[in-house]
Structures are given as structure tokens and as C-alpha cells.
Structure 1
């Protein structure tokens, strides 16, 4: 054996000994399970540094693990998805530093960068600066990831969308498997055993599925047969999941997403065929359907939206009446990102259980209260820029390469409009991350669709 080979062998043995010692130390400090996770984390870390888009895809696939979190002192717990996105953002920054090149930033992501700047100003007035720090860190990381996705090739965009559809299907299967019999209370205003999957709240499950169902439906019509089968199963499970969540705005948002997909001829044909089958099935099984407990629960839940008593008793109305006063008293910087719950009790805003509201149950009103006028201006810019992306996707829906994918992302974003009217989805980091990632993906598709026009 040559001297060089001996040195290489000794180096390999030393590296193995060092790795084993590090693993034992980790197991001693954090528990036996951490020792098994460490090698996986190293492999994932290397893969993400080499190709950051892998980090985004793994983070999306890890959404079903939202049950679990890692405690990090005052920052509370971070989920696997959040940790992967932070790692991806760090890898992207390293790549930009090494290459000396930052991709072009689409207007929608510039608006998100401005929102992060406004959040940072909240340190000067916020009572709880820890939550400001966490939101600023996470949203900045999500925006960096979004910028990188906006420069991705179509193949990476498609793979990332497949991961989103799979995540929706997996979360829905968890919701279906862990759900129980749902019971109407108060005519449907309250329902027991609402499905929440791996999330902390049923509405969050609904918000997530609004963003994945259109993608799964479109991908179920493309690619090899096995992929179509998997995407069809994911779409079916996701539709069942959003029904079991009984999130009214999510159900309506999903329906609105279907309306957007009708702009795509293949979906129109599929929708009309499915409608015909549904009509025949309903006629044949009319009696069984009329006695279906789950259909009764869903229809009664949606029916509460038209009940005057339910609407007038909704605590959201009191929030909507009060928030303009909060904005009038804090017009310049608001009360600080994530600090709404700290001041809501001072204005007499409490939920039915007596706890203060975490947000204003409306995206615009929450921005107004927490980020003031600068936040509203940045949000308006974001709405306008995303709207242009959606309109552009509708115009290029006939593109054989990216048309259907862009329309799927547009349907997800339009569906989010309804959920944002009656709630505040971005309060959950995985929802904010998904939205920003989809903005980046839509910008990448728009760039690809416009490339032939520029070359012509």
C-alpha cells in the first residue's frame, strides 16, 4: 500500500471516529432519537447546500410533520418545514455570495421585501419584540426562497408543485384517519370533531388545502400514468379533507379555485363529465344521499353563512368595527407584528372562551392594526403585483408547457382571497411560506411564457 493510500485510509478512519463521537455526544445531550436523526440531517444539509430547491421540496413534503417541533429558547418551537426553509434560505444566500449574482426580483417579491422592512420598524414600538424577531426571520427567509424559485427552470417548478399536491394529500389522509363523527351544535355554527390533520386548528388545514387542490387536479391530467393516478388520489383526499375541516371560507375558496380552472379547456371537459356523473349518481341514490350525515353537516355549516342571527352574533363583526379605531391611534407603525393579541383585550376584544384574539380575522385589517399605513401600502403593492401575475397566467393559459401550471397556481391564489376576508392565514408560518413559494413559482412560469415573446 502506498503512503498516499495509507494517509487516505487513516483520514477516513479518523473521520468515522469523529462522526461516531459526535453522534454519541448528541445522543447524550438530546436523547437517543437525535443520534439517528443526525446522519439524515447531515445528508439533507449537504443536498440542500448543493441544490437549494431540494430544501423547498423537502420542506413542503414535511408539512405532515407539523405535529412536531424543536424548541429553541425564547423563539418557541420550529417545525421541520420551518427549519428546512431556514436552511434553504441560508444555502441560497451562500450561493449568491459565491457566484456574486442575485437573480432578478419580481415586483411581488419586492413588495414582500418591503413588508419585511416594515416589520423590522416594529422593534421601535412593539411590546413583544420576540414575536417580531421570529416573524421577521421567517418571512425574510421565505422571501429569499421565493426569489430563488422565481429563477427556477420549469422542471424544478413542476417537481415543487408535485410536492405541494402530495403534501395536501398526505395531510388530508391524516385528517381522515384521525377524524371522528362530526356533530352539529347551534344549527351548524359549531361542529364537533372538525378535522385538522397535522395542524393545530381546522381552519389552517382548510387554508393549506385551498392552495394544493387546484395543483393536484391539474397535475392529474399531465405526465405518465402512474403520476396521474397519484395526483388523482391526492386531489380526491384533499377535497375530502377540506370538507371534513368544515372551514367555510376554505370551502368557498376551493369552489372559487374551481371557477378559475374552468378557464382551462381540459378542466372544463372534466368538470362537465364529472357533473354529469354526479347528477346520475344523485338521481340513483337520492334517498341515501338525503340521509347522509356528512352531507347534512357540510350543508348546514355552509347554510349558517346565510343566517342573519349567525352573522350578527359573529364576534368578527366586533373586531371589524374596532380595528379602524386601533389604526387611528397607531397609524404610522401599528402596534407591531404579532402584537394584536396584546392590545385587543384593551379594546374589549375577546373570543367566546374569553381569550384575546390573535389577529383581526382579516388580512387587510390585521396589517392595518399591526403594521400601520406603511404595511397597508406594501400590502396594496403585493396585491397589485400578484394580481398581474394571475392575469398574465390567465392570458397564457394556452401555452402547452406552462399554461396549465400557471392557471393552477392562479386558482390557488384566487381561492385564498376568500380565506383572507374572514381570517388571517399568514399567522401560520407554513401557510405564509406556501403562499410566497407559489408567488415565486408563478413568477418563474411567467418568465418562461414571456421568453418566446421577447425572442420574437
Structure 2
């Protein structure tokens, strides 16, 4: 006899806590711990662990909740709206595989991540109607809070004793005096620490942690956010203050702490400023950034201006999912930022430039509906989960206006889960009385089993991608006993998920003077991230295959980046003998005679 998921669940909340807590740690803490990475991606293992961990947890939750009473789940509007957002994103990613030539692996990964987020949100929504929603919030906040405990330790080491950061267990800070955690990116680490502060505050509110411990953790997380020197983290203090203002049910001392979050941040800043001047060799990255003369927007204003121009050129259907980098790189932007951007650093602009303005407006409206549902209307009997969830989700939204955290599984999936919990908690407040059992429409057992199977697919997919990734990693960081490079590339090109990474090694492999790969060899890898090396190789390929004028157009785009590798490629054009002789000059030394769109210079 096979077990039924509706009757094989733990008999009490103590059982769910006992099993759920370690699964929450695997989903939320473990992905933030890994410092080791293999090229070509420094975050792949963290992301794969995130999907794997959430898959385990959601499989268990789907099993526990079984085929429950659906009659209390009527207030689904915002959840359905967010579901449409995620389905449309998944469909757009898969559609780009056929419409724009996006590599199948990239399309599947983007679609899979969007559908994973939908499954996580839907599981949270359903589970919150079978299990006390606050108990589920306890689990996710415990995972976030313990991630913060470890994160604060990492931050202390990276800022105050950086010599202990070995790069294997503790990531080395990229800038002296700046905490990056093991996510290796200060803004990412800042968002994680903010979530950790929220988690600790929630656990203190619920009595799961001693109030003093929760308050100390909130203060330490704010201090660690100061150490990241993240401007996004600084702005986020307003969200903690709003939580304290809205949730009048918070314990008095905890509420005052949240209301005073900007002041706590300021106190940490002043303390670090004093410390940096108190001794030789003390470095406070936050203060250093104020005086380094750098662009306060970190080139965001320039990339946003370029993005708006691309939107004007492609207003209705956009350039295609995942194609921003390709379209932007091969479009004429003399005032472009010199870094190679693969994202607009603003989710609304990203939707508009890749999917078109009408689709972007729809996705924005549906997302705003889901967020608005957490913040308004504020009622006296609002479940405490709602303002806590609103704060966590709003942080993801704020960060998404300045970067792209939701393109990373370890941010997207927690956001989806907490959003689902918050909307479920809000729906309970507004729900009608439960109808009699005779009027209930329970899910059938096959549907319950389907939920379990879909959740288990996250585990399978993450494992498959991690195994597939080893072929790409073996190209760029050969294992012991690895075969010749050409053989490793050929094996890598056959892999479903990361074949385009092998294409990059193949296309950029020929040295100067050797025949280039034909333009078709660049067909997949151009859709990933176009950099100087790839632009030079592609320009040579075009020139050697009769498309000389388009090759010169690509070189002109390369010059706009003012990149050292590009300057070296063009150094031959400054030689006296080349300047004097217009005949027989290298192709890169002449201007193109025609003007092209980015699509016209792609492989045919």
C-alpha cells in the first residue's frame, strides 16, 4: 500500500518544526556559506544549492499539506497575479530560444528559475492554509537569522582580520575594509544581512529567541550592513522603520529599535569613521567611497540612459528575453559605461527593454498589486506576518530597482516564499467563514501527488545542472587527468545546460595569426556575455569571412568601451607605417562605410 500525502503528515507542529528547521537551514543558510567556486561562474554553486535546498523543503511541505481543504483559499487575486508574472517570464525565456536564438540552456535555466519561484510561492500559499502561517514564518526567519549570524562573523573577519579570509572557506574581500560575505558581492551581502535582521526581529517578536538576543542581532546586522558600504543597504533602513511604525503589536523595545534603525546605522557609521582614523592601517570602505571621486551611481545613470534609447528603438516587443547585453553591446552608444553590463540594473527597465513596453506595464502592474496587498489596507486585526513579509519583500523590490537580485535563486526563492506567506496571512484576515464540509471542493489525491513531484523536480534539475556544469568548469579549470583542451571543449559543447560556455572557449581560442572560427561558431556564445575578447574574435571572424564592413562596425563598438584589451588590439593602427599607408592596413584601422543594427551583425 502506498502512503497518501494527506495522511502521512506530522501529527503536530512540533514534528513540522523538527523536520522543517533543518530543511529551512539547507534552503536559506547553506547557499550563503559556500565560498569556493569554479569558473566560468563564481555564483553557480551557490545558486544550484539554493534551488536544491528549496526543492527539498518544498517537497516536504507538499507532502505534509497533502490534498487539503481549498475552501479557505478564495482570496487569490494577488497570488494569481504574481503567478501570471512568473509564467509570462518563463514563457518569454523559452520563446526567446526560437525567436532570437537564445541558447536552449539559458532559456531553460531562466524559465526553470521563474517556474521554481512560482512553485515555491504556491506551496507557501497552500501550506499557510493548512499549517499556522506564523509557524511557517518562524522557519523561514530562523533560516535567515542564522544566515545572519554566520554573515556577521564573516563580515568581522573580512573587515577587521582580512588575513584570515583564505578564499576557500571565507571569501577574500575585493576592496580593503569592505564586507562581501561568501556571496562575494557587497550589495547582495547587504540584502542578506537586512533579511537576517528581519528574521531576528520576527523571532524576538514571537518569543522564539530571547528578546535581548534578537535585538543584539538586529544591531549587529545593521553594523555589518555599514561594513558592506552598500548604498542600497543604507536606504533599506527606512523599511525597518516602516515596519516598526506599522506593526503596533511589536514588543515595545523591539518596536523602538526598528523605528530607530536609521539612527543605529548612523551610530555604526560614526563609530567606524572614528575607528578608521584611530590607527594606522584601519580602513572603512564606506567613508573611502565618499572621497574616491567615483560615480555615485556606479555607472547606473549611463546604462539607464542607454536602456531608454534601446526601448525607444524596440518599444513593442523589446529585444528578447536575455538579449539586453547583446543588443546594447552591438548598438552605437558613444557615451556608454566602460564595463560590460549583462543587465540594466533595474527590473522595470529590464522588462521594458527585453519584453517591450506593453508587457512591462502588465508585469509591473501585477507585481505592484501583489506588493500593495501586503502594505494596504492596514487594519487593527492584520496578522503580524503581513508587515514582516512586506518588509522582506520590499527589500527585494528596492534592491531590484538598483541591481538584479531576483536573477539569483538565493534571493528569488526566499522572496517568493515570504510573499506567498504574507498574501496568505492577509487573505485569512479577509476570508469568509469556512463553508460546510459538504460544500468543500478538495483537491484530488493525484493533484497532491503532482505537487510533490513538481517540487522534487527542483532537486533533480539543480543536481542535473550541477553535474552538467562540471564539463564547462573542466574547460576553464582543468581537473587532474583532464584531456586536451580541444577534446574538453568538444565534450562541453554537447552539454544541454552550458554548451554555450564551451563555445566561448572555442570561439576565442585561436591566437592572432591563426584562422578564426567561422561566424556560426559564435551563434550561441554571443547571447551570454559579450566581452572584449569575444568582440575581437568575432570581428576577426567577420573580416575573414567576407563581412569586413560589419567587422569594422564591431570594432567601433569595442572602441566605445575604452578597454585595455581593445586598445591593445588597435595599437597596430597607431604605428607610423600603418598611418602612412592606407592600402593593406589591418581591417580594424578603418571606419565602417555603413551603419548597422545589432541584429544585422549577428551570425547568419
TM-score, structure 1 as length reference: 0.69
**Rounded Cα–Cα distance in structure 1 between residues aligned with 2:180 and 2:120:** 27
Tell me, yes or no, if structure 1 residue 242 matches structure 2 residue 215: no
Superposed, which structure 2 residues align to 1:248-287 within 5 Å? 248-265=231-248, 266=250, 270=254, 272=256
**Rounded Cα–Cα distance in structure 1 between residues aligned with 2:193 and 2:291:** 22
Q: Give the corresponding residue for 2:52.
A: 83
Q: Which SS does the other structure have where 1:291 is aligned?
A: helix
Higher mean displacement: 132-141 or 330-339? 330-339
Q: Give the corresponding residue for 2:111.
A: 136
Aligned CA distance change for structure 1 residues 348 and 427 (closer, same or farther; 3 Å): farther
Superposed, which structure 2 residues align to 1:292-441 within 5 Å? 292-293=275-276, 297=284, 300=287, 310-311=295-296, 314-347=298-331, 354-373=338-357, 375-392=359-376, 395-396=378-379, 398-399=381-382, 402-403=383-384, 405-441=385-421
Question: Following TM superposition, by how much is the alpha carbon of 1:193 offset from its aligned partner in structure 2, in angstroms?
Answer: 3.9
Q: Which SS does the other structure have where 1:422 is aligned?
A: coil
Q: How many residues align?
A: 389
Q: Give the corresponding residue for 2:193.
A: 209
Aligned CA distance change for structure 1 residues 299 and 61 (closer, same or farther; 3 Å): closer
| Higher gyration radius (CA) | 2
Question: Following TM superposition, by how much is the alpha carbon of 1:204 offset from its aligned partner in structure 2, in angstroms?
Answer: 1.0
Aligned CA distance change for structure 1 residues 223 and 90 (closer, same or farther; 3 Å): closer
Q: Give the corresponding residue for 1:177.
A: 157
CA offsets 1:118-166 (integer angstroms, 9 cap, x no match): 3332222244442222121122112101101012222223222222222
Unaligned runs of 5+ in 2: 1-14, 163-173, 436-604
**Rounded Cα–Cα distance in structure 1 between residues aligned with 2:415 and 2:421:** 10
CA offsets 1:270-317 (integer angstroms, 9 cap, x no match): 46579999999x99x9x9787332899476468679x9x844x85212
Q: Give the corresponding residue for 1:9.
A: none
Question: Following TM superposition, by how much is the alpha carbon of 1:397 offset from its aligned partner in structure 2, in angstroms?
Answer: 5.8
Q: Which SS does the other structure have where 2:356 is aligned?
A: helix
Aligned CA distance change for structure 1 residues 234 and 208 (closer, same or farther; 3 Å): same
**Rounded Cα–Cα distance in structure 1 between residues aligned with 2:197 and 2:363:** 25
Q: Give the corresponding residue for 1:10.
A: none
Question: Following TM superposition, by how much is the alpha carbon of 1:246 offset from its aligned partner in structure 2, in angstroms?
Answer: 0.9
**Rounded Cα–Cα distance in structure 1 between residues aligned with 2:306 and 2:369:** 29
Aligned CA distance change for structure 1 residues 100 and 253 (closer, same or farther; 3 Å): closer
**Rounded Cα–Cα distance in structure 2 between residues aligned with 1:57 and 1:448:** 27
Higher mean displacement: 171-180 or 319-328? 171-180
Question: Following TM superposition, by how much is the alpha carbon of 1:415 offset from its aligned partner in structure 2, in angstroms?
Answer: 3.4
CA offsets 1:352-381 (integer angstroms, 9 cap, x no match): 995411211111112222232354134213
**Rounded Cα–Cα distance in structure 2 between residues aligned with 1:240 and 1:165:** 15
Tell me, yes or no, if structure 1 residue 60 matches structure 2 residue 28: yes
**Rounded Cα–Cα distance in structure 2 between residues aligned with 1:277 and 1:130:** 43
Question: Following TM superposition, by how much is the alpha carbon of 1:100 offset from its aligned partner in structure 2, in angstroms?
Answer: 10
**Rounded Cα–Cα distance in structure 2 between residues aligned with 1:325 and 1:447:** 41
Which of 85, 107, 113 aligns to 2:80? It is 107
Question: Following TM superposition, by how much is the alpha carbon of 1:99 offset from its aligned partner in structure 2, in angstroms?
Answer: 4.6
CA offsets 1:200-220 (integer angstroms, 9 cap, x no match): 311111122333323322322
Tell me, yes or no, if structure 1 residue 118 matches structure 2 residue 92: yes
Question: Following TM superposition, by how much is the alpha carbon of 1:92 offset from its aligned partner in structure 2, in angstroms?
Answer: 7.0
**Rounded Cα–Cα distance in structure 2 between residues aligned with 1:347 and 1:135:** 24
**Rounded Cα–Cα distance in structure 2 between residues aligned with 1:304 and 1:268:** 39
Q: Which SS does the other structure have where 2:181 is aligned?
A: coil
Aligned CA distance change for structure 1 residues 250 and 278 (closer, same or farther; 3 Å): closer
Question: Following TM superposition, by how much is the alpha carbon of 1:94 offset from its aligned partner in structure 2, in angstroms?
Answer: 8.1
Aligned CA distance change for structure 1 residues 181 and 337 (closer, same or farther; 3 Å): farther
**Rounded Cα–Cα distance in structure 2 between residues aligned with 1:340 and 1:434:** 26
Which of 196, 209, 231 aligns to 2:180? It is 196
* Residues 211 and 412 in structure 1, CA contact (< 8 A), matched pair in contact too: yes
**Rounded Cα–Cα distance in structure 2 between residues aligned with 1:179 and 1:289:** 11
Aligned CA distance change for structure 1 residues 66 and 131 (closer, same or farther; 3 Å): farther
**Rounded Cα–Cα distance in structure 1 between residues aligned with 2:237 and 2:333:** 30
Question: Following TM superposition, by how much is the alpha carbon of 1:196 offset from its aligned partner in structure 2, in angstroms?
Answer: 1.1
Which of 445, 452, 456 aligns to 2:425? It is 445
* Residues 109 and 440 in structure 1, CA contact (< 8 A), matched pair in contact too: no
Which of 160, 176, 179 aligns to 2:140? It is 160
